[in-house]
A and B are shown apart, each in its own frame.
Chain A
Amino acid sequence: MIEPRRLAGIAAGKVAGAAAQALPALRRRPQRKAAPIVPPQNVAGSALILVIAIMTFLSCLTLGAVTLVRDTASAWQTQIAREATIQIKPQDGLDMEAALETARQVAAGFSGVRGATVVDRAATQRLLEPWLGAGFDIDGLPVPRLVIVTIDPAGPPDFAAMRETLAVAVPQAILDDHRTWVDRLVAMANTTVTIGVSVLALMLAATVLAIVFATRGAMAGNGHIIEVLHFVGAEARFIAGEFRRHFLFTGMKGAAAGGLAAVVVFAAFSWWSSRNLATPQADQATALFGNFAIGPAGYAGVVLIVVVVGALTAATSHLTVVSYLGDIDTTRREG
């Protein structure tokens, strides 16, 4: 702003005459967009976006893998804990069909049991066909018979009481509540999830460090801008705000690209597994990992990582500016 007194002095000169002529034309121009205070892009900025995109992609993949393993382990546990089996071994003089029915009734009588079904002769024969071949005589072999007890996972029955009652009603019956299997699976699933979470923690730590150093690297080329802004009277929060906004945008751009790539990978795996449901190669993967879907929690995690990476980039640039400003006015010698 030039005060009127000064303008009057300037207007006396020849230059001001030209300015007076030029001004109306310049004023008629549409509002031009001022150049951004922080330059939009440079080599360091592009490298930062790439580093952020790669680290976010790897973090999202790790998170997705951990989510997948955790969900699958949980599904295994639930499926096994949902059933128990009563096995009755054949014995001389035992009426197998009556014993099966008695055992079924005993089991069905307990609260926490949703249903009990006898595996009939035909079904038993089908179960054994892979080992004994088709058309074998089931009556000619001492084949144990089964009663499948479906359990309410939320309120399972008292297995000890059921075992005692069965021992009295059908002495040949053995109740298997799959506890040993469930315990092993729980231990295995917990170990797998713990390893996954540890890998995720390491991955996130590496991401944080890579982003912090890459942001500081990109900021190093902007020191002169911070200095100029500082010396023309900009407040520290204005300077920090300009850089924070710029690097938040940069960080979000890279993180969104990495997160999107990870989502595409998961969507592609999910699509592949659903397209190959009945094929032998997919059966193995499906048996282990379900349909490869990471679910809403996985997608929410990807979004969270993208937001955190963007915020981290912005926070790093903010701290770098604040530290740089502190340095300008204290220690540096210029000559």
Chain B
Amino acid sequence: MIRFENVGLRYGMGPEILRDISFHLPERSFQFLSGPSGAGKTTLLRLLFLSLKPTRGLITVFGKDRSRITPRDLPLMRRKIGVVFQDFRLLDHMTTYDNVALPLRVRGREEASYRADVIELLKWVGLGERMHVLPPVLSGGEKQRAAIARALIEQPRILLADEPTGNVDPPLARRLLRLFIELNRLGTAVMIATHDLGLMEQVDARRMVLSGGRLEIHD
């Protein structure tokens, strides 16, 4: 589904942040991406999310060469990739419902055509009672789940989550992890960037460890 071959990336004229990164993310796979702070986890996620272009190497996303994907193609490609940001990036002037429905709204769909689906998904992530609440009123865990629901509303083929349990307590972290596992069971590939060893030990999944700009994979 997504393949990296000898990928390297540097910002401007700075040093290489990522070096010779090669891996393959198959359909329906589940993996953790870990490594110390500043190792380049977010940068690797941005590459996966097509928000950056590599300075060298080859990236193939859904069978397409990254270097041949034009800015015009990007929105369509991004709809197949769900992202949960570390800082949630919910829009504070919109209710939880509006935030989750946003990816469908920007496609120009009528609200009547997706209303039931959004409500169903909000119930699934446990935010049924909070759908008309603005994000500043939500707790950290609720914000996280709203961000996850927004990433899932378009049924992406892969979900990328950047430190999804970084701001929540251990019980909620376990609950969120179960949500990701359930999602993976239903057919979506999942990659969770985290440095929480406790979280990784709860699931027998592939671990990709970034260190010094290089990637080690432990299947």
Give the B-binding residues of A (Cβ under 8 A).
1-3, 5-7, 9-10, 13, 15-16, 18-19, 22-23, 26-27, 31, 34-37, 39, 224-225, 227-229, 231-236, 238-239, 328-331, 333-335
Instruction: Give the complex CA separation of A19 and B46 in angstroms.
Output: 35
Partner of A232, one of B95, B102, B112: B102
Q: Is the CB of A228 within 8 A of B117?
A: no
How far apart sit A35 and B71, CA to CA, in the bound complex (Å)? 28
Residue pair A22, B98 in contact (C-beta under 8 Å):
no
Partner of A329, one of B52, B112, B121: B52
Residue of B nearest to A329 (CB): B51
Within 8 Å CB of B26, what residues of A?
none
Q: B203 in the interface, Cβ–Cβ < 8 Å?
A: no
Residue from B111, B121, B124 within 8 A of A31 (CB atoms): B111
Q: Can you list 22 A-B pairs with a CB-CB distance of less than 8 A?
A: A2-B117, A2-B121, A3-B155, A6-B155, A15-B126, A16-B120, A16-B123, A18-B123, A22-B119, A26-B119, A27-B115, A36-B93, A225-B91, A228-B90, A232-B78, A233-B103, A233-B106, A236-B75, A329-B51, A329-B53, A331-B12, A334-B43
If A10-B124, A22-B123, A229-B106 touch, does A234 touch B75 (CB 8 Å cutoff)?
yes
Q: In the bound complex, how far is the Cα of B103 from the Cα of A314, in angstroms?
A: 24
Q: Is B62 among interface residues, defined by CB-CB distance under 8 A?
A: no
Task: Give every chain A residue within 8 A of B108 (Cβ-Cβ).
Answer: 238
- Whether the pair B93, A39 counts as a contact (CB closer than 8 A) is yes
Taking the closest CB of chain A, its distance from the CB of B160, in whole angstroms, is 11
For window 101-117 of chain B, which residues contact chain A by CB distance below 8 Å?
101-108, 111-112, 114-117
Chain A residues whose C-beta falls within 8 Å of the C-beta of B76 in the assembled complex: 233
Once A3-B155, A6-B186, A19-B119 are accepted as A-B contacts, the answer to whether A228 and B51 lie under 8 Å apart by CB is: no
**How many angstroms between the C-alpha atoms of A1 and B119 in the bound complex?**
10
The verdict on A233 contacting B93 (CB below 8 Å), with A35-B98, A331-B12 known, is no
B79 at the interface (CB under 8 A from A): yes
Known contacts A1-B114, A34-B111; A15/B128 CB under 8 A: yes
Q: In the bound complex, do residue B93 and residue A328 qualify as a contact, i.e. CB atoms below 8 Å apart?
A: no
Beta-carbon contact of A334 and B42 below 8 Å: yes
CB within 8 Å of A: which B31-55 residues: 38, 42-43, 46, 49-53
Inter-chain CA distance A54–B49, complex, in Å, is 45
Given A15-B123, A224-B89, is A335 in contact with B38 using a C-beta cutoff of 8 Å? yes
Distance between B27 CB and nearest chain A CB, rounded to angstroms: 15
Residues of chain A contacted by B91 (CB below 8 angstroms): 224-225, 228
Closest chain-B Cβ to A224's Cβ sits at a distance in Å of: 7
Contact A31:B112 (CB < 8 A) given known A19-B128, A22-B119, A39-B93: yes
From B53, B95, B124, B154, A15 is in contact (CB under 8 Å) with B124
Given that A15-B128, A31-B111 are contacting pairs, would A334 and B154 also be in contact in the complex, using a CB cutoff of 8 Å? no
A10 partner, pick from B11, B46, B120, beta carbons under 8 A? B120
User: B42 touches which one: A5, A239, A335 (CB < 8 A)?
Assistant: A335
- Decide if B89 touches A231 in the complex (CB within 8 Å): yes
Among A31, A225, A229, A233, the residue within 8 A (CB) of B79 is A233
Residues of B within 8 A of A6 (CB): 155, 186-187
A192 to chain B, nearest CB (A): 51
Contacts of A19 in B (CB 8 A): 119-120, 123-124, 128
Q: Does B137 contact A (CB under 8 A)?
A: no
* CA gap between A335 and B89 in the complex, in Å: 16
Min distance, Cβ B49 to any Cβ of chain A, angstroms: 7
Residues of B within 8 A of A15 (CB): 123-124, 126, 128
Q: A6-B187, A231-B85, A334-B43 are in contact. List 9 more A-B contacts (CB 8 A).
A: A18-B123, A19-B123, A27-B115, A39-B93, A232-B106, A232-B150, A234-B75, A329-B74, A335-B42
**Residues in A neighbouring B52, C-beta threshold 8 A:** 329
With A233-B75, A233-B107 in contact, is A23–B119 under 8 Å at CB?
yes
Are A331 and B106 touching (Cβ within 8 A)? no
Whole-angstrom distance between the alpha carbons of A23 and B121 in the complex?
Answer: 12
Question: Hey, which chain B residues are within 8 Å of A328, CB to CB?
Answer: 51
Separation in Å of the B14 CB from the closest CB of chain A?
8
